[in-house]
């Protein structure tokens, strides 16, 4: 079990985290050309304290680590490490390559510590757990907990992935097999304007639905659930994703699993937004932020809204690739918090889930009255993960084999040096 001195995750996890899957060639041609240092510094200045990355996201860990280290080592105003909440993942190597063996997990964590310039990681997920067997997930979670308890390099342990029901099954299995619940679970792409499946029963107030995945997570003891990819990995944008798989207009065409018909349906949402003087990105972000803040908190899987606030909110990971995108998201988030604080001060929930601000009322009406009907059968549509024909290209005999790149030796040397200073 986690040390008793470890505070509850709900009291330490920031309600809004900067997701950096966008610091990757899947989203931009050259991630190194992004103003990543400026993005991270601006996030801190806006009050965003959490950063989510993964070794699977190309150079993301390296770029985030470089940006944070520049702040940690600033000569004028160094950022204390404890003021930042760093989240990364382990187990996914490539699109079709996974290694959940204890040896690889251990190596991956040591490498992440180096890349992120830190002696500990606040939260680590096993990445995209639906791609491996439950037994592999269980073994990997046990290794993360060993690294937490025996080496102190991890504070909290969780899982992440795409299909909520599979994630719930794994959370239930881990509690059943170990007697200890997961600290956190991150679901992506399943609480958006188009796909509401993570919390659809709560969203539509189906109180009798005992099969609700949020209720299953809560029963399995998962303390916090984070919602990620509010834009459906680029699907819910004004530009959208071209339906033609041969198009060269967007790098997302090469890998995004959405069918052409769904891309066309979501393009229509952009037209509805434009007719109201809005951008689909703004509407989708605001809707997901405000509704997950409410639904996550009401389901008992939220976090503290901020220091000194009694408000609980569902936590969100937002991915950006520019400072304007970051500033837009934070502005929307601040508007959500303001509306919820006013609602709490008024003593409850208003009819129609309108929180008392013109902005929120406009977004809710646009989404519920126009966008959801326009989606038709594509509302709550989700694709299979893994897709048909998936095979883990990591051969069984190669699982647990780690590169001879000095990562483990360097980690052992750092540990030795720390102990010599005690």
Distances (CA, A) of 321 to 24, 37, 208, 318: 10, 11, 41, 10
Measured between alpha carbons, how far apart are the two ends of the chain, in Å?
Answer: 26
Q: How far is CA 337 from the centre of its chain?
A: 19
Spatial separation of the C-alpha atoms in residues 369 and 39, rounded to whole Å: 35
User: What values do phi and psi take at 73, rounded to 5?
Assistant: -105, 15
Per the rule left: phi > 0, alpha: psi between -120 and 50, beta: everything else, 401 is beta
Spatial separation of the C-alpha atoms in residues 159 and 140, rounded to whole Å: 10
Which sign does the torsion angle of CA 365, 164, 326, 239 carry? negative
- pLDDT tens string, the chain, 422 residues long: the values are 344 478 999 999 999 999 999 999 888 889 899 999 999 999 999 999 999 999 999 999 999 999 999 999 999 999 999 999 999 999 999 999 999 999 999 999 999 999 999 999 999 999 999 999 999 999 999 999 999 999 999 999 999 999 999 999 999 999 999 999 999 999 999 999 999 999 999 999 887 667 799 999 999 999 999 999 999 999 999 999 999 888 888 888 888 999 999 999 999 999 999 999 999 999 999 999 999 999 999 999 999 998 778 899 999 999 999 999 999 999 999 999 988 888 777 776 544 455 557 888 899 999 999 999 999 999 999 999 999 999 999 999 999 999 999 999 999 999 998 888 77
Predicted pLDDT of residue 163: 97
Predicted pLDDT of residue 356: 57
Spatial separation of the C-alpha atoms in residues 172 and 213, rounded to whole Å: 11
DSSP state of 366: I
Q: Of 389, 338, 315, 342, nearest to 48 (Cα)?
A: 315
DSSP state of 367: I
User: What values do phi and psi take at 15, rounded to 5?
Assistant: -75, -20
- Counting runs of H as helices and runs of E as strands, what totals does the chain give? 14, 12
**DSSP bridge pairs for 115:** none
Predicted pLDDT of residue 1: 38
Q: What DSSP element (H or E) covers 414? A: helix 407-421
Per the rule left: phi > 0, alpha: psi between -120 and 50, beta: everything else, 221 is left
Is 110 an active-site residue?
no
Q: For 107-153, list the strands marked E by DSSP.
A: 121-126
Distances (CA, A) of 169 to 22, 141, 176: 29, 15, 10
DSSP string, 17-35: EEE-TTSSTTTSS-GGGS-
Residue with tokens 């959940």: 100
Q: How far is CA 154 from the centre of its chain?
A: 18
Predicted pLDDT of residue 165: 97
The residue extents of the domains of the chain are 13-421
Structure tokens, 33? 């050309």
Q: Of 64, 185, 49, 158, nearest to 118 (Cα)?
A: 64
Spatial separation of the C-alpha atoms in residues 218 and 144, rounded to whole Å: 21
**Cα three-residue angle 253-291-36, rounded to 5 degrees:** 50
Class for domain 13-421, per CATH? alpha beta
Provide the 3-class DSSP secondary structure of residue 384.
coil
For residues 324 and 282, the answer to whether their CB atoms sit within 8 Å is: no
Report the chain's C-alpha Rg in angstroms: 21
pTM exceeds 0.85, yes or no: yes
Q: Of 294, 163, 178, nearest to 216 (Cα)?
A: 163
| Active-site annotation holder among 57, 125, 188, 355 | 57
């Amino acid at each position: 079990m986690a040390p008793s001195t470890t505070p509850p995750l709900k009291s330490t996890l920031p309600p809004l985290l900067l997701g950096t899957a966008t610091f990757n060639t899947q989203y931009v041609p050259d991630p190194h050309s992004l103003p990543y240092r400026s993005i991270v510094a601006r996030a801190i200045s806006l009050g965003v304290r959490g950063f989510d990355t993964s070794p699977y996201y190309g150079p993301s860990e390296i770029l985030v680590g470089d940006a944070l280290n520049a702040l940690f080592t600033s000569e004028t105003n160094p950022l204390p490490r404890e003021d930042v909440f760093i989240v990364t993942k382990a187990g996914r190597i490539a699109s079709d390559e996974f290694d959940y063996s204890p040896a690889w997990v251990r190596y991956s964590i040591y490498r992440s510590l180096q890349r992120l310039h830190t002696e500990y990681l606040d939260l680590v997920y096993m990445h995209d757990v639906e791609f491996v067997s439950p037994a592999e997930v269980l073994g990997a979670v046990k290794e993360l907990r060993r690294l937490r308890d025996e080496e102190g390099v991890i504070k909290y342990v969780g899982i992440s992935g795409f299909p909520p029901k599979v994630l719930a099954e794994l959370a239930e299995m881990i509690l059943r097999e170990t007697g200890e619940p997961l600290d956190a679970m991150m679901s992506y792409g399943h609480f958006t304007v188009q796909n509401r499946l993570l919390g659809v029963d709560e969203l539509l107030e189906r109180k009798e639905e005992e099969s609700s995945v949020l209720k299953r997570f809560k029963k399995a003891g998962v303390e916090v659930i984070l919602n990620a990819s509010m834009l459906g990995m680029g699907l819910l944008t004004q530009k959208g994703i071209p339906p033609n798989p041969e198009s060269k207009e967007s790098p997302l065409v090469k890998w995004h699993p959405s069918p052409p018909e769904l891309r066309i349906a979501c393009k229509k949402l952009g037209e509805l937004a434009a007719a109201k003087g809005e951008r689909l990105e703004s509407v989708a972000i605001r809707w997901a932020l405000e509704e997950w803040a409410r639904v996550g908190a009401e389901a008992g899987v939220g976090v503290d809204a901020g220091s000194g606030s009694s408000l609980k909110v569902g936590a969100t990971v937002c991915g950006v690739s520019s400072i304007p995108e970051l500033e837009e998201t934070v502005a929307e988030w601040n508007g959500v918090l303001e509306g919820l604080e006013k609602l709490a001060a008024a003593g409850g929930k208003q009819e129609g889930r309108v929180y008392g601000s013109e902005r929120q009322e406009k977004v809710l009406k646009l989404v519920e009255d126009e966008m959801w009907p326009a989606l038709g059968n594509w509302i709550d549509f989700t694709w299979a993960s893994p897709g048909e024909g998936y095979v883990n290209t990591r051969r069984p005999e190669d699982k647990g084999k780690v590169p001879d790149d000095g990562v483990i030796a360097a980690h052992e040397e750092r540990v030795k040096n720390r102990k010599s200073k005690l």
